[in-house]
Structure 1
Amino acid sequence: MDAVQQPGELLVVGSINMDLVFQTSQLPSPGETVIGGNFCQINGGKGANQAVAAARGSAVPVKLFAAVGGDDYAVSIMESLKRESRLCIELIQQIADATTGVAAIMVDDQGENMICVAAGANKRLSSDLVEAVANQVFEQASVVLLSAEIPLSTIRTVIGRTVQYGGFVILNPAPALQDFRNDALLADVDILTPNEHEARILSGIEVTGFDSAVEAGRRLQKFGVTTVIVTLGSQGVVVVPSMDSIENDGPWAVLPPEVQVIDTTAAGDCFNGLLAAELARGQSLSQAVEVAVVGASISVTRVGAQTSLPMVEEIEPRIRTTH
C-alpha cells in the first residue's frame, strides 16, 4: 500500500521494558570494566517508547498492545503510562508468572549507547493474545506500528490481521532478525524503518550515507516492502519510496537540526512513533518524516527513553518546509 487509506487510530504493538541506565565516559570493550557515573531507572521498551512518542507528539488516538510481568516494575510502568493522557493502555496484558522486560543501557559522553535486553513478558506476547483482541482493535486502526522485541509469530499475526482489515503496516525491524529476509511477511509491510546497522543485516549492504542507504532500500524493496526509510543518526534519514508512489520523484534525505547530543537511546523510537502518528492523522509521507526527524532531534538532547520524548507543543515551532 502506498498511502494510508483513511485517517484514524494508531495501534502500536511491541515491547515494554524497565531501562536500567548507566552513564559512563566511555563504553566498555569486551572483558573491560569501566567506572560509570549516574544511574537511573526509566520506563522504556520500543513499543512503549513509540506509543508515548506518538501520544505526546500528535493529536491522533494511540493504543498500545504489549505485555508486562507480575512484578514491581510492572506496577511502576503502568502507573506512569496511565499519566499519558492521549494513550490508551487497556490492551496491555499482565502475565503474572513472568518478569517485566529489562534493558541494561550504557550511555557514553557522546550520547552513544550499548543495550542488552532480557525480554521477560515481551516474549509471551503471543499470537493467541492478538487473536483475542483482534476484532476490537484492527478495525479501528488505520496504521499499525510494530517493532521486533516480540515473537516473530506474533509479528506475522499482527501484520496479517492489519492487512485483512485494510490497515497500513509500519515495521521497525529492531532488532533486525535474519528471519525477516526469508519470511513472506515483508511483502505486506508498507514502510520498513531500519537504522544503518539493521539495513546492513537485512540487505547485506554496508550503509554509510545517502547512496548506500538508497541501494540498501532498493534491495529491501525486492522482498516486497513498499517504502524503506533508513535512519542514519546525525545524518538524518533517507526515504526510498515505492517506484509507484505519488510522492516519488526519487529518494530523498531529511537532515536533522543541529543540537547538543546527550543520549540517543530513544531517538529511533521517537522517530517511528511520530512517523506513524502523523501518517495515521492523514499527513503525507514527506510531512510525516519531517515531524518525526524534528521530534527525534529534540529527544537526543535529554537523558533516558520516555523521559526524553517531546510534546507536540515543542515540535510544532521547529517544523520547517522540506522536500
Structure 2
Amino acid sequence: MQFHLSFPVEPLESAIRYSDELLLMGSCFAEEIGEKLQEHRFNTIINPNGILYNPLSITKALHHYLDGKVYTQEDLFQHNDTWHSWDHHSRFAAVTPEATLDAINTAHAAAARSLEQADWLILTLGSAHAYVLKENNRMVGNCHKVPAAAFYKRMLTADEVITALDNVMHRLFFRNRKINILFTVSPVRYIRDGVVENNLSKAILLQAVHHLVNKFNRLYYFPAYELVLDDLRDYRFYKEDLVHPNATAINYVWEQVVKACIHPDSQALLHTIAEINRAAHHRPFNPESSHHRQFLRTYAAKVKQVMADHPQLDMQPLLTYFEQ
C-alpha cells in the first residue's frame, strides 16, 4: 500500500549556475531558501525591502528599484519612538530618521544595481491579503505593530495581482533582457486570516502566477507550496506554531530546488561546498589533537582548491576558519 503522494518536479529549462546573480524577494520562505543559497556561496541578495507578503507591495518595490527612488524623511513615520517606512520591514526601523533612511537607501541602491544585471529574480508570494491605511487609502508592506484599527484588510483579486506583475515584468524585460523570473508560493499557512481565507488567498496567488508563467517565456514556477502541502502533508513538518515549515521541511524543499533549479554543472560544486560547510560546523572532542589539526589542514586544502577553481566565490571566511 502507498501512504505517501510524491510527484516529479520538472527541471528548469535554464537552470541556475554559480556564475549567475540572484535577487530574491517576498515572504519569510524566500529568506529560508535565500539563506541556503548564500550558505552555498551563490551570489545572492535577499529581500532588499525586508519581508514582503503581498504581491502588490513586491511589485511596488520593484518599480522603486527601477525608478532609482531615494527615500526621504517625508516617506517615514514615527511609532513607539522609532522611525519606519510603510514600504519596508521593521528590520529597517531605527531611533533616528537618518539611520532608517541610510539603511533603506543603501539596500535600494544595491537592489537597483542587481536588478539591472541579475540573471534570476526569485519571487515568493505569501498572501493575497493586503492591509490598507484608513487615513489615506495607502497599501502597506508591513503594519509595524500599529493598532489594527488603523487599517482595513482586503483580499486582492487575481486580476489585480496579474496586472501588477504583468506591468513590472514588461519593465524588467525592457531593462534587463537576460533576466529569468522564478515564482514560488509560500507554504507558510497564514491561519490568522482564517483557514478558508488562507486557502482562497493561496488559490488567487497560484492562479495569477500560472497565468503569467504561461504567458512569458522566461517565467518559471517552482512548487514549494505543493511540496509541503501535498507531498509532505503532515503537521510533523511544521514548527510548534503549526504555521511555518520546520527545518526538515525546508531542507526537503531545498533538496528539490537543487535537483530542479541548479544546473548540473553547478550541483557538483554545491555538494563540495556543502561538505566544507558541514566540516566547518564540526565541533571536535579535543581541538588540540593531531587528528583534528590534520582535519583542519585537509579542509583548508579543499577550500584553497575551490578558490583556485572558482575565484569569484567568497570562500575566505571558511579558509580563515580552517587555518586557525
Q: With the length of structure 1 as denominator, give the TM-score of the two structures.
A: 0.35
* Greater helix share, structure number: 2
In terms of Rg, which structure is larger?
A: 2
* Greater strand share, structure number: 1
